[in-house]
């Protein structure tokens, strides 16, 4: 990620707080968990701006029912990039600060476990009680104040 000026860091934090999510994406098989940051908006330039500032992730059009206005998504799913962005914007987050703390801790635990054990097996879902607790915490935070897609923690 390129070096950001203070106003760029605060813009990203505000965009994530207002239009985004910081979460743990749990695939339908409940075995694969991916740290995730996304910003959603019906204006493509809004999401494109996040990509231009960071050069991380990508912008795509979200799947929507026919007839609905398109929603654009800037998303990051690469663990190292998620961690880098969290460390950059965390001091400026307000609403998503706790989610950032949880995802950051989850990444740290995964990195520690991987280096200690040389990798993971396909049958491992969680590698510690703390990781399981973090996944549950992020789900609870995502469900406050609205209907939540359980895999993304995204309010709809």
Domain architecture of the chain: domains with CATH: 6-144 (3.10.28.10)
**Residue 116: predicted pLDDT:** 61
Query: What tens digit of pLDDT does each residue of 42-53 get?
Result: 999 999 999 999
**Residue 117: predicted pLDDT:** 58
**Residue 132: predicted pLDDT:** 81
What burial letters (b/e) apply to 92-117, b meaning 16+ CB within 10 Å?
bbeebbebbbbbbebbebbeebeeee
**Residue 128: predicted pLDDT:** 75
Q: Which residues of the chain have pLDDT under 70?
A: 29-31, 113-127, 143-156
């Amino acid at each position: 990620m390129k070096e950001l000026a203070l106003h760029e860091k605060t813009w990203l934090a505000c965009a994530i707080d207002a239009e985004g999510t910081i979460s743990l994406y749990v695939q339908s098989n409940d075995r694969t968990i991916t740290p995730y940051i996304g910003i959603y908006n019906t204006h493509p330039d809004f999401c494109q701006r996040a990509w231009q500032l960071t050069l991380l992730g990508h912008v795509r059009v979200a799947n929507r029912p026919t007839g609905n206005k398109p929603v654009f998504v800037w998303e990051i799913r690469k663990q190292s990039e998620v961690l880098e962005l969290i460390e950059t914007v965390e001091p400026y987050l307000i609403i998503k600060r706790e989610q950032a703390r949880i995802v950051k801790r989850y990444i740290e635990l995964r990195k520690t476990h991987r280096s200690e054990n040389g990798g993971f097996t396909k049958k491992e879902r969680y590698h510690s009680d703390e990781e399981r607790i973090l996944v549950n915490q992020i789900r609870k935070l995502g469900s406050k104040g609205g209907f939540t897609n359980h895999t993304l923690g995204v309010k709809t």
